[in-house]
Amino acid sequence: MKEELEKLFGEALGNLKVAGEESQVTQVRTEFLGRKGKITALLRGLANVSPEQRPIVGRLANEIKLSLEEKIRESLASIQARKMKERLFHEKLDITLPGRRVPTGRKHPISEVCDEVIEIFLGLGFQISEGPEVESDYYNFEALNIPKDHPARDMHDTFYISDEVLLRTHTSPVQIRLMEKQEPPIQIIAPGKVFRCDSDVSHTPMFHQVEGLMVGDNITFGDLKGILTIFLHEMFGAKTKVRFRPSFFPFTEPSAEVDIACVMCQGNGCRVCSSSGWMEILGAGMVDPEVFRIVGYNPNEVVGFAFGLGIERIAMLKYGISDIRLFFENDMRFLGQF
Amino acid sequence: MRASLNWLKEFVDIDLTPVELADVLTMAGLEVESVIKIEEDLSHVVVGKVLSIKSHPNADKLSLCQVSIGDGTFPVVCGARNMKVGDKVPLALEGALLPNSMKIRKAGIRGELSEGMMCSEEELGIGEDSSGIMILEDDLVLGMDIVSALNLEDHIFDLNITPNRPDCLSIAGLAREVAAVTGKVLKIPSIEVREEDGRIHDLTSVDVRDPELCPRYSARLISDVAVGTSPFWIRRRLESVGVRPICNVVDVTNYVLMAFGQPLHAFDFDLLSEKRIVVKRAKDGDTFATLDRLERTLQGDALMICDGEKPVAIGGIMGGLNSEVSETTSNVLIESAYFDPSNIRKTSKKLGLQTEASYRFERGVDPEGVINALNITTQMIADLCDGKVAQGIIDQCPSPFLPKEITLSIRRINKILGTSLEKERVRRYLKAIELDNKNLDRDKLIVRVPPLRVDLNREIDLIEEVARLNGYDNIPTTTPLARVTSGRRSSAWVAEDKVKYVLISLGYYEVVNYSFISPKLITSLGVDANHPFHKFIRIKNPLSEEQSIMRTTLIPGLLRTMKTNVYNKNSDLKLFEIGTVFFPNKEDKLPIEKRMLSALVTGLRYVEAWNFSGDEIDYYDIKGSLENLFRALNIRGCNFSCAGDIPYLHPGKSSTIMIGDTQIGFLGEVHSEVLENHDLSKTAHIFEIDFDLLVKHAFSKKKINLLSKYPPIYRDMALIVKEDVQSRDIYDAIIGCNNSLVKEIQVFDVYEGEPIASGEKSLAYRIKYQSFKRTLTDQEVNKAHKKLVSKVLEDMGARIRL
Ligand SMILES: [Zn+2]
């Protein structure tokens, strides 16, 4: 009987080896292990085996049955794996076809740069403040120490609505409006649109500025240099060279023009920087005591600084754009590149 | 302002290169915008002297000259006749290439050898005179190359002088700054006027009737002048700083103006009625012909320089034709004055006439420099025009100009600058800019400021000077003492960011248009004159009619942007803009400013691709965008109702946007007539929303519902209704059933056409039933649904689609 068992086992394994389909494997199971299967049938004769031999044969039969079951499972698994592989192989995509792109829009480059500027100053503890785009002569000029019939008015080509009302030429009136309402300390930036009647490759009649104002009782020109240097390093890279040079604004004193090393030539001098190696990037200064007096602060007690920068100018430098008018043509071929 | 380096060097020693000097000036606050090198390529042209002139044996019009250059003599055949023996002339020798491309070589001219050419200014390319050979100054060294002999090589600095520094609007003024920052000595010449016969007080008088507008008026008289062309060096100097030479008398006044910053005027004395000057205000409406040959109408506050009868100049701005110096002039009266700056500016603005003189007077000239400038001018004219100066000077200056005294605290300097400068150093800086000072106490100085420095009136002005002379670069860079603040955005900014974020992720591009538009664009929207869009504000001085009114809506800008892009073959567009619109304000002189959010979509929803069909964008796309936006801003209770009466929108495809009872905007398809007005053929959809109202309703508190543990059951219903029934009505009818198990209602099909009869349409709904308390049975849902359907059928006059 032992020999017969092993012979059947060998036969079953032989059948399994040639089975290529799942049905052929199950066929082997039915043929050998099923209720009417060959091994099952053989074991029915176990009763005829001598009592000494019976446990031995019984154990062997069990081992063979388990082993065969195992082989059948393995065989089934390998057939399934092979078939899965074949199926997946045929399901292959052309992965180089373009994806289902749902197009997204873009922020306008001016907003993009403006946000970047704002982000830096928020990080330095500044708050955002705003004011009207159409301003009175008082807020745009007089309260900023630019009286009527003062030559400093030549620095602004102004659009007028009436003798007293105009399109603001800078964001500085926001300083006045805020200081009139609020006591120091003040630490704000004011982004917004400004207007000058001027139009060519480097001027548009409307552009964007960010104004900054910091007022307290212990603020120095050195602090102004510090804050603006941090800003310019954040904006143009930590290695950017920055210089401050004397200038004039009626509402600040001392006043400064701030330059960075030309981003085109790294300071070696080129056409863009008219060979100076420097580019004007913002105007700044210590708030003029007269401005403090006008808003009702005590000029002997408070000090502060203010600054203003042009967003388009920064965007032009950052992206190497030479014609400012492109920003307001809103041509998708331009906007799509940001 | 333009400045010549050669000229500057007359007033101060400069051992810096031009580039270094430009940097020093810029860092001292006198921004140099450019430095241009003036070069003349005139090699082989030297100073020569005419030794003899003989007529050419073979040509009547030519002469044969011997010209010496010191160590050699050359025969020169010449066509000009203006030179005489002994004259020094520019001689071009063999090898010279003149700017007019003429090459000089030895040649026989009508049988006589000519080894060079005597040149005119024009032939040398250094002047306009082509009438004859240029006659040089007698003191030039023979054989010297002409470029160094005439000092032709120069550097021209273009400076941007800020309005507070009129004292730097002259060569001497700049030299004073150069001296201050480089530590050199300033050399201002003082002059002695050689007076001859006649006393000025016997010959003329000056009557200043308005000393407020004319605090100082001085004059001198020169007789027997020969008016003609100025010498080369004066013309060269004037041209180098951009002034056109006119005649010797006028050129000298301009020369002194440029050199010292004091505007001067020369009158033809014989053309002055009663031979006297009266300074008084104009009469309103007077007309006056200025030197530029224009008839000007004056206003009452213009200050006029008059003679015994009539105006002869607009004070400080421009002289009159009626007293102009001309070739026939022989006696001149020179005016040197100080006028009230703001009045000059007012008049100059009103007349639209800015001159070199008015530019300086309105900023403030040095009232103490008036006399020196007058004397220099007088003597120069006397020398160059062979004139005789009358004895004496008229100087009407009723109240003297005194130096200002300002107290300066060293502590204050250091507090504002963040420096630790010592008093001695501060005093050194003040001395460098010629400000006398003395100690008041341990901390303070008393500083005397001459009237020349109109910008220095207060302590802070002196602090700026200290900062400037110390160098901004030498002020320590610090950061403000830390205060615990956190920068935060206002809710409007947060909302704006969110709106942009949502629209951008939906495919919209942000655009920025000008705040001013053409009034035609409002008309193009087809709105009548009473529409709020027509209540716009005009700009008094627009650049053009196209940009002459403040926008009252963002729509025209978006249509314009659409047009730009359609012309550039980009016709699939999704655009939005957040910007201000302006309306007149009854309560205030400043207009009402409203922030609007507008969008425009046109073209294909997606560009047609292998996996996208090319469907046109429609009403529901832009409406969907808004619904997405409201969801993102957590705005509840928004509603779209029929608009009907918006002239620029399709009446059947437009709606107003409501939040609760507040209308915040509209959306819809652009009316085809509006598109036609803009030369656009493709349809477009737009919305415009009051951004501030939107923000007001944004970010209402979110209420989070519990999640039901029990499964939902869905039931469908397909209805046939009349075609004018709106989806909203059916939705309201379902809600009206008040069944608390109804949790969601979704329209999943809308159909018109066969087999549905015309005039009717089919709408199919899927309704979600769910309870928070238990699992619903099919039976009870069926019952509820049946009840709901029959109620809806009854309410809507609908029937079930089978
Ligand atoms: Zn450069």
Q: How many CB atoms lie within 10 A of CB B707?
A: 6
- Cβ–Cβ of A125/B590 closer than 8 Å? no
Where do runs of H (alpha helix) occur along A215-296?
Answer: 221-236, 289-294
pLDDT digits (tens, 9 = 90+) for B396-444: 998 889 999 999 999 999 999 999 999 999 999 999 999 999 999 999 9
Separation of alpha carbons B382 and B221, rounded Å: 10
- Cβ–Cβ of A256/B162 closer than 8 Å? no
pLDDT digits (tens, 9 = 90+) for A238-266: 999 999 999 999 999 999 999 999 888 88
Secondary structure (DSSP) of A14-65 = HHHHH--SHHHHHHHHHHHHSTT-HHHHHHHGGGGS-TTHHHHHHHHHHHHH
Q: Residues 461-500, chain B: which have Cβ within 8 Å of A? A: 461, 463-464, 467-468, 472-473, 475-481, 483, 485-490, 493, 497, 500
Q: Which residues of B touch A209 (CB under 8 A)?
A: none
For residue B530, give how far its alpha carbon lies from the nearest alpha carbon of chain A (Å): 22
Would you state the pLDDT for residue B216?
97
- Cβ–Cβ of B417/A220 closer than 8 Å? yes
- Cβ–Cβ of A126/B487 closer than 8 Å? yes
What is the arithmetic mean of pLDDT over B249-270? 97
Q: Is B510 in the A-facing interface, judged by CB distances under 8 Å?
A: yes
- Cβ–Cβ of A103/B606 closer than 8 Å? yes
Q: Is B190 in the A-facing interface, judged by CB distances under 8 Å?
A: no
For residue A92, give how far its alpha carbon lies from the nearest alpha carbon of chain B (Å): 17
Q: Which of A197, A245, A311 best probes binding to B when mutated, by most B CB atoms within 10 angstroms? A: A245
Whether pLDDT at A296 is above 90: yes
Would you state the pLDDT for residue B50?
94
Whether pLDDT at B274 is above 90: yes
Whether pLDDT at B484 is above 60: no
Interface size, chain A vs chain B, as Cβ–Cβ contacts under 8 Å: 248
Would you state the pLDDT for residue B252?
97
Radius of gyration, alpha carbons of chain B: 42
Q: Is A185 in the B-facing interface, judged by CB distances under 8 Å?
A: yes
Separation of alpha carbons B611 and B533, rounded Å: 43
- Cβ–Cβ of B511/A108 closer than 8 Å? yes
- The whole-angstrom distance between residue B725's C-alpha and the CA centroid of its chain comes to 60
- Cβ–Cβ of B568/A331 closer than 8 Å? yes
Q: Is A328 in the B-facing interface, judged by CB distances under 8 Å?
A: yes
B507 vs A103, A124, A222: nearest CB: A103
Looking at chain A, which residue has its C-alpha nearest residue B23? Answer: A276
Separation of alpha carbons B329 and B228, rounded Å: 10
Domains and CATH numbers, chain B: 2-35+156-182 (3.30.56.10), 45-149 (2.40.50.140), 195-396 (3.50.40.10), 404-474 (3.30.56.10), 491-697 (3.30.930.10), 713-800 (3.30.70.380)
- Cβ–Cβ of A122/B488 closer than 8 Å? yes
Would you state the pLDDT for residue B569?
92
Q: Residues 252-281, chain A: which have Cβ within 8 Å of B? A: 253-257, 274, 276
Would you state the pLDDT for residue A272?
78
What is the arithmetic mean of pLDDT over A294-317? 95
pLDDT digits (tens, 9 = 90+) for B649-669: 999 999 999 998 899 999 999
Q: Is B345 in the A-facing interface, judged by CB distances under 8 Å?
A: yes
Q: Which tokens hold the place of B242? A: 């951009």
0.95 cut: is pTM over it? Answer: no
Q: Is B569 in the A-facing interface, judged by CB distances under 8 Å?
A: no
Separation of alpha carbons B798 and B802, rounded Å: 12
Q: Which candidate, B591, B595, B596, places its Cα nearest to that of B555?
A: B596
B303 falls in which pLDDT band (50, 70, 90)? Answer: very high
Mean pLDDT score of chain A: 91
Residue spans per domain, chain A: 2-90, 109-335
Mean pLDDT score of chain B: 93
- In Å, what is the CA distance from B541 to each residue of A149, A197, B432, B516? 18, 8, 46, 12
Check: CB of residue A248 under 8 Å from CB of residue B165. Answer: yes
More confident residue, A155 or A335: A335
Q: Which candidate, B665, B577, B684, places its Cα nearest to that of B622?
A: B684
Would you state the pLDDT for residue B606?
87
CATH superfamily, domain at A109-335? Bira Bifunctional Protein; Domain 2 (3.30.930.10)
- Cβ–Cβ of B510/A161 closer than 8 Å? no
Ligand 1 centroid to B679 CA: how many Å? 44
For residue B623, give how far its alpha carbon lies from the nearest alpha carbon of chain A (Å): 17
B486 falls in which pLDDT band (50, 70, 90)? Answer: low
- Cβ–Cβ of B565/A330 closer than 8 Å? yes
Q: Residues 131-170, chain A: which have Cβ within 8 Å of B? A: 132-136, 149-152, 154-155, 159-162, 164-165, 167
Would you state the pLDDT for residue B625?
95
pLDDT digits (tens, 9 = 90+) for A179-194: 999 999 999 999 999 9
Q: Which candidate, B688, B632, B637, places its Cα nearest to that of B664?
A: B688
* ipTM score above 0.85: yes
- Cβ–Cβ of A159/B582 closer than 8 Å? no
For residue B386, give how far its alpha carbon lies from the nearest alpha carbon of chain A (Å): 40
Ligand 1 centroid to A276 CA: how many Å? 7
- Cβ–Cβ of B507/A102 closer than 8 Å? yes
Q: Which tokens hold the place of A248? A: 């004039």
B482 falls in which pLDDT band (50, 70, 90)? Answer: low
B494 falls in which pLDDT band (50, 70, 90)? Answer: confident
Looking at chain B, which residue has its C-alpha nearest residue A230? Answer: B479
What is the arithmetic mean of pLDDT over B703-727? 90
More confident residue, A307 or A153: A307
Separation of alpha carbons B320 and B289, rounded Å: 6
Separation of alpha carbons B298 and B296, rounded Å: 6
Whether pLDDT at B483 is above 70: no
Q: Is A320 in the B-facing interface, judged by CB distances under 8 Å?
A: no
Q: Which residues of A touch B31 (CB under 8 A)?
A: 245, 247, 257
pLDDT digits (tens, 9 = 90+) for B537-591: 999 999 999 999 999 999 999 999 999 999 999 999 999 999 999 999 998 999 9
Q: Which residues of B touch A103 (CB under 8 A)?
A: 507, 606-607
pLDDT digits (tens, 9 = 90+) for A26-43: 998 898 888 888 888 888
Separation of alpha carbons A308 and A281, rounded Å: 9
Would you state the pLDDT for residue A216?
92
Ligand 1 centroid to A261 CA: how many Å? 8
Phi, psi (rounded to 5 degrees) for A173: -55, -25
